[in-house]
Amino acid sequence: DAGITQSPRHKVTETGTPVTLRCHQTENHRYMYWYRQDPGHGLRLIHYSYGVKDTDKGEVSDGYSVSRSKTEDFLLTLESATSSQTSVYFCAISEFGGGAGEEQFFGPGTRLTVL
Amino acid sequence: QKEVEQDPGPLSVPEGAIVSLNCTYSNSAFQYFMWYRQYSRKGPELLMYTYSSGNKEDGRFTAQVDKSSKYISLFIRDSQPSDSATYLCAMSAPGAQKLVFGQGTRLTINP
């Protein structure tokens, strides 16, 4: 299994509070991704990173920010959590991105509930 | 309209049946087509990968790509209860930095 961990694995928080999710990899892959998964919507890309300090937005980036100060860590921050951000969040990594059909390896997910 | 459309199901079939899962897409630049399998409360894992058009077979699984119709399929023969999972199609264009996923189809194989 690809070395990807996510923390925390479960979190319950209140509306308006900031939340940070962490993704850690031991594979030294260049690309890291944050997705959210909701019933009927599949996996939707929030943000991704193509190198240290290099990030870009995905299709559902509003209300989220990311940072990558080291190759192995990619942080997702919900600046002021809302109930619509209740979801399962997955981190994924890949060595070269999707341009050659390369596989993305996924972490175990974080279940976030915003009350 | 989404770039990739996939019927979310759910789909329930008896053990031993042949299962057909499908996705349509609108971006003619897509060249790489994948199927991921996701068990309950787990992350997705790559199941099949196909480049451009054609068929690819791996055991009980066959992936088909029809670029002229912008349509891809995954067939599962002799389906087993262990095949119960959500199946997501994914695709990308040359030079892309990300994959585009379908909504996923939830499949249950009944013993």
Q: What is the pLDDT along chain A (115 residues), one digit of tens a residue?
A: 569 999 999 999 999 999 999 999 999 999 999 999 998 888 999 999 999 999 999 999 999 999 999 999 999 999 999 999 999 999 999 988 776 778 899 999 999 999 9
Q: Is B102 on the interface with A (CB under 8 A)?
A: yes
**How far is residue B14's CA from residue A56's CA, in Å, rounded to a whole number?**
44
Cβ separation of B97 and A56 shorter than 8 Å? yes
Q: Which residues of B touch A90 (CB under 8 A)?
A: 43-44
Q: Is B78 on the interface with A (CB under 8 A)?
A: no
pLDDT > 90: what percent of chain B? 86
CB A68 within 8 A of CB A55: yes
Identify the pLDDT of residue A2.
66
Cβ separation of A101 and B92 shorter than 8 Å? yes
The nearest alpha carbon in chain A to B101 belongs to: A43
Residue among B41, B43, B103 whose CB faces A106 most closely: B43
Residue B70 Cα distances to A103, B27, B105, angstroms: 21, 8, 18
Mean of per-residue pLDDT scores for chain B: 94
Q: How far off is chain A from B80, nearest CA to CA, in Å?
A: 24
Q: Which residues of B touch A43 (CB under 8 A)?
A: 44, 88, 101, 104
Q: Which tokens go with A58?
A: 């995905």
* Beta carbon pairs, A and B, within 8 Å: 66
Q: Is B35 on the interface with A (CB under 8 A)?
A: no
In this predicted structure, the answer to whether residue B96 has a pLDDT above a threshold of 90 is no
Q: Which residues contact B66 (CB under 8 A, 6 or more apart)?
A: B53, B72, B73
Identify the pLDDT of residue B61.
98
Identify the pLDDT of residue A1.
59
Cβ separation of A45 and B8 shorter than 8 Å? no
Q: Which of A43, A49, A56 has the highest number of chain B CBs within 10 A, making it the mutation to test binding with B? A: A43
Q: Which of A45, A87, A104 has the highest number of chain B CBs within 10 A, making it the mutation to test binding with B? A: A104
| A109 burial type by CB count under 10 A (0-12 exposed, 13-18 middle, 19+ buried) | buried
Residue closest to A6 by CA, chosen among A110, A92, A101: A110
Cβ separation of A98 and B97 shorter than 8 Å? yes
Position A39, amino acid: P
